[in-house]
Chain A
């Protein structure tokens, strides 16, 4: 923030100097000209806007598929963890109970490791160690961010499942629905509705987290802006542009979620 301000300040000083020399146009006009030249130099010249456009495409691609993977993983892990708690009494000792206990332990390990380490480190481990032989940066990023997001989604969904009154579960079972169908028709729809704001927040975080993709050389939106900066030696335009694009995406997405929430709230009137 400070560097941006000082940048603007430096720009303004320089402009003021130029303005003094060129008496033909006013001070404001010079600032305008300077910004316009800056803009043209950073984005239009040599089609540099392509870096941002392509980067934005990559950011979308990684975020979208990582979110899908995260939801899938999250629901599976949440179901394993809450089933392990809920079915402890009902299940008789046997193969299935042991299997569930094993999966539960694996889920706990997954949550601990993923939530206990920074996403940048996970991304680098994925790219430089686990998939060292792969050159598909997008795919590796999708896997790394998806696996990371899945851990947070799992806990969000599990808290949603736990927040549903036990009576809902009993009502479903007493009609004759099995455990899984009670979950699908009765518990999960209510749970998702309750955690929608938290889920939306997780995806807003995810969009922004993908900005560390540059660490493995993936040219996402942030990296695109970075490349422009390294070509033009001007920080102001590319960074502000990148920030503004993220901001617009997040605002648009938040609006979308608000609309969805309003629709789902029909039953609360």
Chain B
């Protein structure tokens, strides 16, 4: 099934994640649809459950109840091969998580070669194109420890892109970066959004949310409190918790 722009690509229904029985409700009934080509930005105070929500989308966190449907398949079902579906959901982490024992090139070709059965030559050709897109073509043979934080995160993005995913998940991709490196990573994400990639992004970068996001979700206490266009969220917030949150971060 090839999704058209505007088709629902991820559908989340009444997603709950409890710890210690019901003592801690990290996610308390999340329902939302993510459509092809959307750039959904999730904001909220720390501990609001936004990272847990994002990590549930590819089952890095296993929800207590609720369903997540990706490209028409219920990924929470027992019969689903989650490894197959994860190939189509790229993920970028706060701490990059590049593989330190592999060169940049091997970081980027490991998945395509081992999981998609691509030839080494083909995988490396594609990796070089992707490296060119983020301006790091000359670092292919470097090891992650030889790169700056911003470079690492750009590599992490293209490593995920090398799997040719249908959707990209970003978990606070700029939070661990020095301030002067945030821009280069956001620029790559902006280009990605422009190219039509479906993106779900947990971030504290309100500028990015406003400029690139097509929809902003505000979460608090494991619930979606408000959900709207960036324009409405930032200029005309309704809920008082969102108002006080924006006052603190803007």
Interface residues of A in 164-190 (CB under 8 A from B): 165, 167-168, 170-178, 181, 185-186, 189-190
Q: Are A267 and B111 in contact (CB-based, < 8 A)?
A: no
Q: Mark B79-110, 1 if CB is under 8 A from A, else 0.
A: 00001101101110101011111110000001
CB distance from A55 to the nearest CB of B (A): 40
Number of B residues whose C-beta is below 8 Å from A?
31
Chain A nearest Cβ from B133, distance in angstroms:
19
B114 close to chain A: CB less than 8 A: yes
Whether the Cβ atoms of B110 and A175 lie closer than 8 Å is yes
Number of A interface residues at 8 Å Cβ cutoff, please give it.
25
Give chain A's interface secondary structure class: helix
User: Would you call A177 and B62 a contact (CB within 8 A)?
Assistant: no
Q: How far is the CA of A170 from the CA of B97 in the complex (A)?
A: 8
Known: A170-B93, A174-B60, A175-B86. A186 touches B99 (CB 8 A): yes
Q: How many A-B residue pairs have CB under 8 A?
A: 74
A177 contacts which chain B residues (CB < 8 A)? 83, 111, 114-115
- Find residues 182-236 in chain A having any chain B CB closer than 8 Å to their own CB: 185-186, 189-190, 193
Residues in B whose Cβ lies below 8 Å from that of A193: 101
Residue of A nearest to B91 (CB): A174
- On chain B, the residues within 8 Å of A165 by CB distance are 95, 97
Q: Please determine whether B101 and A189 come into contact, CB atoms closer than 8 angstroms.
A: yes
Q: Is the CB of A171 within 8 A of B93?
A: yes
16 intermolecular pairs with C-beta atoms under 8 Å apart? A167-B93, A170-B97, A171-B91, A173-B83, A174-B86, A175-B87, A175-B115, A175-B163, A176-B86, A186-B99, A189-B101, A190-B101, A266-B143, A267-B102, A267-B103, A269-B143
Show the binding face of A for B, using Cβ within 8 Å. 89-90, 92, 165, 167-168, 170-178, 181, 185-186, 189-190, 193, 266-269
Which B positions have Cβ atoms within 8 angstroms of A? 58, 60, 62, 78, 83-84, 86-87, 89-91, 93, 95, 97-103, 110-111, 114-115, 143-146, 159-160, 163
6 interchain residue pairs of minimum CB distance: A176-B87, A171-B97, A174-B91, A167-B97, A267-B143, A175-B111
